[in-house]
Amino acid sequence: MTSSWSRSGRAARAGCALIPLLALTACGHHGDGDRPLPGTRTGERGEGFRRASVDDGDRLVITTQGGVRVVGTDDHDVTVDDATLARWDGDGSSHTLDLPCDEGDDRARENCGGMPLVHVPAGVTLTVRARNAGIDVSDVRGGLSLSTVNGDVTVQDSGAKGTLQRLVTRNGSVRATGLGARTVGAETVNGDVDLLCATSPDTLDGVTRNGSVRVTLPADAPAYATEASTVNGRSTADAPAAGPADSRHRLTLRTVNGDTEIHRG
């Protein structure tokens, strides 16, 4: 803890009594080495976070200097295995799981560029910020905001018809199968964007610079107002195209060195 909270045991207790809103962050924060936050559980040796209960619809943010695999489950717990060093923070319906990277710490070394496994409730709204490795998400029904650098973003059987999906990397590909969404934004610089949609989004933007953009819509998808452009490649579409005045359903596919493809079925 900081010096302002350690002048004396009596002062610390008084601070906690007078400022209850700071009780979790200042007097009982798991990250300070004290008792775990309410609703969480540590490993058998009391080292690091292992489990916390969250509700469907809550926002979960996962941060890491490596990559991560996230799997949605039907229970209400966020869990990591005993080999993964993790830190947890939560406030109301918003929670953060940090997977720290430290090459000098045996417990945290595996998080550096690795792909630890995290189980989450399937109904959470999920944000993942990674670096120097990929993000792999499956069976998460809420909205997704996934971003990394130097790695792929891969999504399987996730999202729902009314959700917002944002999938971004810089040196890697974005690939999704069984993707449900109202709005999709998928972007990379050096890699492909390949999206197989389980529902018909209102709008979809797929952008790369060096790679191809391929979108497959459901067989019963409506006609879309489409903008598809490439410089060194070809554009093909075997799905009905709506007129430019139809702004409800819109596809935008852009690349420089690669193809654009739109399919239905």
Q: What is the pLDDT of residues 201-242, one digit of tens each?
A: 999 999 999 999 999 999 999 999 999 999 999 999 988 888
Q: Give the chain's length.
A: 265
State the DSSP string of 174-232: EEEEEEE-SEEEEE-SBS-EEEEESS--SEEEEE-SBS-EEEEE-TT---BEEEEE-SB
Pick from 227, 246, 247, 245: which is nearest to 237 by CA? Answer: 227
Q: Each residue of 172-210: pLDDT tens digit? A: 999 999 999 999 999 999 999 999 999 999 999 999 999
Residue type, 34: D
Model-wide pTM > 0.85: no
C-alpha 68/C-alpha 130 separation (Å) is: 8
Return the pLDDT at 110.
78
Name 144's bridge partners. 126, 165
**Structural domains of the chain, with CATH:** 8-38 (no CATH), 42-264 (2.160.20)
Return the pLDDT at 90.
83
The count of other CB atoms within 10 Å of the CB of residue 162 is 12
Using DSSP's 3-state secondary structure scheme, residue 68 falls into strand
Q: Each residue of 68-85: pLDDT tens digit? A: 999 999 999 999 988 888
CA distances from 215 to 149, 169, 175, 207 (A): 22, 17, 10, 11
